[in-house]
Structure 1
Amino acid sequence: MTSFQVLLCAAAATLLAASVESSSGGSYSNYNFELSGQALTDLYNRPVHLAERVERPLGGSSGAARPFSHTGVRVTLGDGSQWLIHKGDGFGLSSQTVVTDARHMSSAWKTIRTKDFGGTRTVSDFVSAGGPNYNLVLDNCHLGSRRMMNQ
């Protein structure tokens, strides 16, 4: 990411600081846990076969994405289920990189890179690569999703 893109990303996030983006582009004020306990542990230990770096415009609008965009990685598991792994300020409790069912993704998400991992990495590896903390300039969604794809 160029320093110009980082500055534009920072400006966009400043404008949207009052709103936390969900995977579909809407706002939410509470956490919605689809999986917990053993089911969550099982998901984190499952192998990833295909990963797609995906992008959508900030705010979920259908306008031009770059440089005002949000990125994440949609992973496909052996059973064909898909999960979105992405990070943002206030997205999670113990980590700002979270996993959500890809069925919640809007049509505004577009694939920008695909990589076949062939089951050599787990969902947990992707969450770890995304990182637990969020920093608009030093550790944002773009940097986290790139690390996930480059492992």
Structure 2
Amino acid sequence: MIHAIQEINQHSPRLLPNLTIGYDIYDTCDDVSLAIRAALQLLRNQSDPQRCLIPTSIDSSLPEPQTKVVIGERCLEVSIAIATIFALPSVTQISYGSTSELLSIKEKFPTFLRTVSSDKFQTKAIYELVMYFLWQSVAIVGSSDEYGKYGTDSLLTALH
């Protein structure tokens, strides 16, 4: 991600005129309390935008930046906690792995987006594959966490 940001900034006159993208990295270790602490620290750092968004290696004369998007989380429990916090200042959260349909409720999580399909669409796609190929026997393997149980239960319901 850092490489992509640096490439965009290097070619920004052509790609993003008058805009420099910055970043700050927080490792939440898929832990809710660490994620909340990191989210609050990020919001606290908004009072010092040079520290928060523009790395010292990038010289920028642009106006004070504000965080507009946060990439992550993967885990549902952490995504919900962070999406709740970031909805207040309207900071967008883009998750690369949280697939729960719960996060699709825009009234609760107005600034949450994902790069993967929700569980609802994944289940529908698997169901359609099974029906298309007329498979008579299908084994479902899932993890024992909330994500795995929901996916397994959804697929069993769809197939019956």
Q: TM-score range by the shorter chain?
A: under 0.3
In our comparison, the structure showing a higher alpha carbon Rg is 2
The answer to which structure has the higher strand fraction is: 1
- Does 1 or 2 have the higher relative contact order (CA < 8 Å, sep 6+)? 1
- Give the TM-score of the pair, scaled to structure 2: 0.25
